[in-house]
Amino acid sequence: MNVDPTARFSTLCIHAGQEPDEATGAIITPLYQTSTYVQEGLGRHKGHEYARTSNPTRSAVEANIAALEGGTTGFGWASGMAAINAVLTLLEPGDHVVVTDNTYGGTYRLFERVLRKGGLDFTYVDTSDVEATVAAFTDRTRMLFLETPTNPVLRLADIAALSAAAHARGDITVVVDNTFASPAVQQPILLGADIVLHSTTKYLNGHSDSVGGMVVVTHAAHAEWLKFYQNAAGAILSAFDSWLILRGTKTLAVRMEAHNRNGQAIAEYLAQHPKIDRVHYPGLPAHPQHALAQQQMRGYTGMVSFDVGTLERARGVLERVRLFALAESLGGVESLISHPASMTHASVPAERRAALGVTDSLIRVSVGIEDVDDLRADLEQALSVL
């Protein structure tokens, strides 16, 4: 039942990395909820010694997501932030990283308040501008860290062009946080990136019941180090979370079709609403990078953000919605609504948020897969207070 690695995406979602259980024939990968494994003798075991080092359920989801991203090897972590931290351990003190300026607030916090203390240097640039990004490279630049679409204003980076420019320098690793898109929408490795990472908590899991992270690599040296670091540092993805994510990726293709469809419909509804100042969504022709979105994405996801003008107006909407749940996170089957300035990006200084367009009046929605007419009706009644 080995799946052909050239199989189409929806087939890989269901079969890649997974075989029927040898002991029972179970079609679903078992949850190996164990801390250790009995060995047949000194130096003789069945491929697993201790669960921090390896676990069959974790190995299955690592192989599954690596296949979905077109990479060679996957590594599961306890959270998306643990995944990002792991990737940055590929660098040495004194190395320089060019980073998407409108990156997730938790990423900014990790880079500025933790990793900078360890000797890494970071420059934040609008990576939607290829020339400005390349101009930020220095002799010490060893990594280009892209987030595309960005959180929460949904700017895009031209992955192919930036990867080519970075690789022309010979020693710059291109990393893409693909959490907002998922491999169903965008596959950065196939566009030239070296490493892709995810908060699996979001679209990959899809059911808001698991926290985890994943790193997918293409180079043997990166795989060798991350395998060592995963065992040495121990911030591993648990067996149960691995099992939950495997359940999620089986329906990733069909879920993302629904997210894309609903996201487009809600973005179009908001764009014509007279009380909304601005809508951010790559699927709208008015988006400044709509052409790039058509080129490197397959659909535009369920992430939409919009500005209602003032904090008080935003509070009125956020507290009036009924179907959209006021909560952090994204990518679940249920629709969520959030206030980036005080929630996901609270760790970013206010003046920096303002420069990036993360205003106090900005609202972000993660559009779920409910009936879109019900979602529109909920927003309509919430916006009626404006």
What is the set of active-site residues? Answer: 52, 104, 177, 202
d(CA 198, CA 165): 23
* Angle, helices 252-271/372-383, rounded to nearest 10 degrees: 30
d(CA 28, CA 118): 43
- Read off the DSSP letter of residue 347: T
Phi and psi at 231, nearest 5°, equal -75, -40
Write out the H or E segment, with its range, that includes residue 99: strand 96-100
d(CA 314, CA 85): 33
In contact, 28 and 214? CB cutoff 8 Å: no
Structure tokens at 177: 């946080």
Among 295, 277, 214, smallest CA distance to 248 is for 214
SS3 for 98? Answer: strand
In contact, 61 and 17? CB cutoff 8 Å: yes
Query: Which residues sit opposite 73 in a β-bridge?
Result: 217
- Distant-in-sequence, close-in-space partners of 160: CB < 8 Å, separation ≥ 6: 191, 192, 296
State which amino acid sits at residue 346: A
d(CA 158, CA 164): 10
In contact, 365 and 328? CB cutoff 8 Å: no
d(CA 320, CA 335): 14
Structure tokens at 315: 């509070």
